[in-house]
Structure 1
Amino acid sequence: MENVSIFDIISLSLILILGIKGVINGFIKEVAGLVGIIGGVFVASRFAREAGAFIDTNIYHIQNSASLYLIGFVCVLVIFWLLSIFIGYVLESVLKMSGLGFIDKLAGFAIGSAKIFLIFSILAVTLSNIAFIKEKVDTTLEKSFMFPIFVDVGHYIVKQDPNEIVKKVEETTNSLSEKK
């Protein structure tokens, strides 16, 4: 316990509190929200121009193409996120009727805790890559046992290439469709 810092206590407390929030929301809602945000950004980045063009021609004419792209991006993101949340509520209702609500709540704790842990990990690696902040962080958190864990996990996440992941998913999908 000699290597416990105030940072460790605060970060673990936040992970626990947000894990409890996951119990309240349940696994289905937590995953639906996460899919809504991540999937929304993915879909919005692909269809923002088309959505902006649709808004420009059918709703309100905007001459600035950057503004159109931003508005299209936000609209697609919000629509995808709301659709995911709605699907999550429907699935949660079905799960509660089946009597598996307890498993939903228990898994909600795990996903809620994991989600904030991953966010902390990405923040830790991002901050540790900025030289000015790294100097301050290194001296402040040298006795922390959680910060090195956050940085290690964050390096693993940040090192992933999204294009390579999409390529692997497409290859897997193609190989599965060829087997049919």
Structure 2
Amino acid sequence: MEGINWFDVGCLVLVVLFGLRGITNGIVKEIFGILGLIGGLFAAMRYKTMAGEWIAAKIPALQNANGVLSGDTTQVLIGFIAVLFGVWISCLIIGEIISKFFKWSGLGFVDKIGGFVFSVSKIFLIFAVIVTLASGPMSMNEQTKKYFESSKTAPIFLKIGNWILNLKDDPKIKQSLDSIGSKMDDKLLKDQNSTARMNSDQNQSTEPSDFNASSEVNSTERTKL
């Protein structure tokens, strides 16, 4: 334990705590939880407009509740949140079912150990990125500098964190990210154009009815006179 300081102790304690959480959840739940968040984000980006319109149509009472669903931006936001949580919760439920199958089949121990390894690896990578990003301010602050420079775990975090952060400069990964970003921008533009056309059609359809109603009122008044 020689040379280990409070920075190392804090990091190791947090890693172990998250590892214990991984044992409780199991690898199946851990994986499906992450898949639910990532898949939910992509699905929400793709179907947020459609979901917002569907919710607004199915729950008309909300449309009159102080304008909760009034405005395209609010509809899209509600649609985004609904799709995100819908996919995430669905994945959690699927993970729960598969986890029970592992338990009933006698593979519960494997699921628990896998959950520990997966959770420790996940939080270790997250800490590596955080420490790398914070290494500048931490090394310049006199109060944290001595703990950071004498740490046994900080060099490991920095090595892995720099490797992760440098992945964005890899040509293949950069090309893939640019392609995904371009597709998301195109989809967002299509959603905006679709929403604009829908609002234009709605405005055009309401104008004749308003004109007819006004004509009927004027006709009634002339009849009374």
The two structures share one fold, judged by TM-score above 0.5: yes
Displacement of 1:34 after TM fit?
Answer: 1.7
2:86 aligned residue:
79
Displacement of 1:167 after TM fit?
Answer: 6.2
Structure 1 Cα separation of the partners of residues 162 and 77 of structure 2 = 30
Displacement of 1:147 after TM fit?
Answer: 2.3
Structure 2 Cα separation of the partners of residues 126 and 52 of structure 1 = 37
Structure 2 Cα separation of the partners of residues 88 and 38 of structure 1 = 15
1:156 aligned residue:
163
Structure 1 Cα separation of the partners of residues 102 and 94 of structure 2 = 12
Structure 1 Cα separation of the partners of residues 55 and 16 of structure 2 = 43
1:18 counterpart letter in structure 2:
F
RMSD: 2.7
TM-score by length of 2: 0.63
User: How many aligned residue pairs are there?
Assistant: 166
1:30-69 alignment, distance < 5 Å: 30-59=30-59, 60-61=62-63, 62-69=69-76
Structure 2 Cα separation of the partners of residues 106 and 115 of structure 1 = 14
1:125 counterpart letter in structure 2:
T
Structure 2 Cα separation of the partners of residues 83 and 48 of structure 1 = 17
**Could you say if the C-alpha distance between residues 96 and 134 of structure 1 is closer, same or farther in structure 2, counting changes exceeding 3 Å?**
same
1:102 aligned residue:
109
140-149 or 27-36: which moved more? 140-149
Higher relative contact order (CA 8 A, sep 6+): 1
Unpaired runs of at least 5, structure 2: 64-68, 181-225
Displacement of 1:127 after TM fit?
Answer: 2.9
**Could you say if the C-alpha distance between residues 92 and 42 of structure 1 is closer, same or farther in structure 2, counting changes exceeding 3 Å?**
same
Equivalent position SS for 1:144: coil
**Structure of larger gyration radius:** 2
Displacement of 1:10 after TM fit?
Answer: 0.8
**Could you say if the C-alpha distance between residues 152 and 47 of structure 1 is closer, same or farther in structure 2, counting changes exceeding 3 Å?**
farther
Does residue 153 of structure 2 align to residue 146 of structure 1?
yes
Structure 1 Cα separation of the partners of residues 174 and 112 of structure 2 = 31
TM-score by length of 1: 0.76
Structure 1 Cα separation of the partners of residues 40 and 6 of structure 2 = 36
2:185 aligned residue:
none
2:140 to 135, 138, 141: 135
Structure 1 Cα separation of the partners of residues 51 and 174 of structure 2 = 23
37-46 or 6-15: which moved more? 37-46
2:190 aligned residue:
none
Structure 2 Cα separation of the partners of residues 29 and 89 of structure 1 = 6
Unpaired runs of at least 5, structure 1: 169-180
1:26 aligned residue:
26
Identical positions, percent: 34
Displacement of 1:139 after TM fit?
Answer: 5.4
Equivalent position SS for 1:164: helix
2:6 aligned residue:
6
Structure 2 Cα separation of the partners of residues 49 and 56 of structure 1 = 11
**Could you say if the C-alpha distance between residues 98 and 156 of structure 1 is closer, same or farther in structure 2, counting changes exceeding 3 Å?**
same
Displacement of 1:104 after TM fit?
Answer: 0.8
